[in-house]
Amino acid sequence: MSTEHEQQRKLTVSARDLDEVGAQLARWLATKVDGDAPPRITSVDRPTAGGMSSTTVLFDAEWSENGQHKGGSFVARLAPDDRSFPIFESYDLVTQYQVMAQVAAHTAVPLPPLGWLEPDDGALGTPFHVMRRVDGRIPADNPPYVFLDWLFEASPQQRAELARKTVELIAAVHVLPDPAAKLPMLDGDGPALRRHVDWYRRWYEWAMADDGFPVPIIERGFAWLERHWPAEPGPDVLSWGDSRPGNVIYDGFTPVAALDWEMAALGPRELDVAWIIFLHRFFQDIATRFGQPGLPDFMRREDVVRWYQDASGHTLRDLDFYLVYAALRQAIVMARVKRRMIHFGEDTVPKHPDDYVMHRAALEALLDGTYNWD
């Protein structure tokens, strides 16, 4: 195979010809199913919306086994190519797949039915895994659902139903028994919360500081965490990691599939609860900044805490610490996203390094203890 062709195969799917991807998927699928004839890929597409941490391909396939028609609609999640200026330093699809498999086997959390894991990069130029596609709808991220969307247009009662059921979904994730034994790749030396924060510190250094782009407010945030460290964090559960409505497929206002497990880890349950509270406030603060009403009644802190405690029977502790940590984690995400946009000529270098963080004002207020949750 020529070097030029090898490089073409390793490009992210967003830069590929979808017909080529379909042909590659057909050849790969023929090695996975016991078909009477080679399977056919009848359509290949990319979602109109999605995150930047991975590549998603939607495809339909059909084949026959012993004369019986087989097939369906599938989703392939691919690791991003290094040249795409990825958000994360590494992308462990094997661990993601194993996390989803354990959650599916031992909890009531709805997930897309898992298909195949392909850890080798021979088929598509990068590892990937395949799931069955789940019908439904997902609240929009870009532009966020606080501006427009089916969730924005829903009644307050419908939004409250969706919010409560999503919080109950988080509680269901935390039910996974003995997560360290079932997912030893997530375990390690020392307390889980310390490992979690240390991982984010290393990610920040890779994403920004080591390249000569230190962000003072992020450094200040890590120092704040050390001064306010919980006396007794835990007990540890499986943390979904990116627990928010934008990673859930809904049938009406009921969750039918939890998505995106790339940030899964072991840690206190407050990690996920704080994340869903803050991520909505992140969007709501954007709406407020643009003079729009947003959804101030959605995912309110006191409501989320009550719903979670009712569903789990667990009393949440040290939530202020975890909310600051959620804002800090999102600060690293947004700083890396801005660097990526600058890299591709879609943004300009800010005058002050703290402006790599879109929600700089909110993070400053949280660190100062002046953020208004009402």
Angle between helices 319-343 and 270-289 (to 10 degrees): 60
Task: Specify whether 242 is catalytic.
Answer: yes
| Residue 130 to residue 110: CA distance in whole angstroms | 16
Catalytic, out of 236, 242, 285, 318: 242
Angle between helices 192-207 and 319-343 (to 10 degrees): 20
Place of tokens 């709808």: 137
Q: Identify whether the C-beta of residue 257 lies closer than 8 Å to the C-beta of residue 134.
A: yes
| Nearest Cα residue to 324 out of 223, 178, 208 | 223
Cross-strand pairs, 62: 40, 71
Which H helix or E strand runs over 72? strand 68-78
Rounded alpha-carbon distances, angstroms, from residue 175 to 46, 117, 172, 207: 34, 25, 5, 33
Burial of 30 (0-12, 13-18, 19+ CB in 10 A): middle
Q: What are the beta bridge partners of residue 144?
A: 141
Phi then psi for 15, rounded to 5 degrees?
-105, 5
Residue ranges of alpha helices (H) inside the chain are: 3-9, 18-29, 93-106, 150-153, 156-173, 179-182, 192-207, 216-227, 270-289, 301-312, 319-343, 360-368
In sequence order, which residues have a C-beta less than 8 Å from that of residue 234 and are 6 or more positions away?
191, 192, 193, 268
CA distance 218 to 202: 12
Q: Is 227 helix (H, G, I), strand (E, B) or coil?
A: helix
Q: Judge contact between 76 and 118, C-beta under 8 A.
A: no
User: Which one-letter DSSP state was computed for residue 238?
Assistant: E
The residues annotated as belonging to the active site are 242
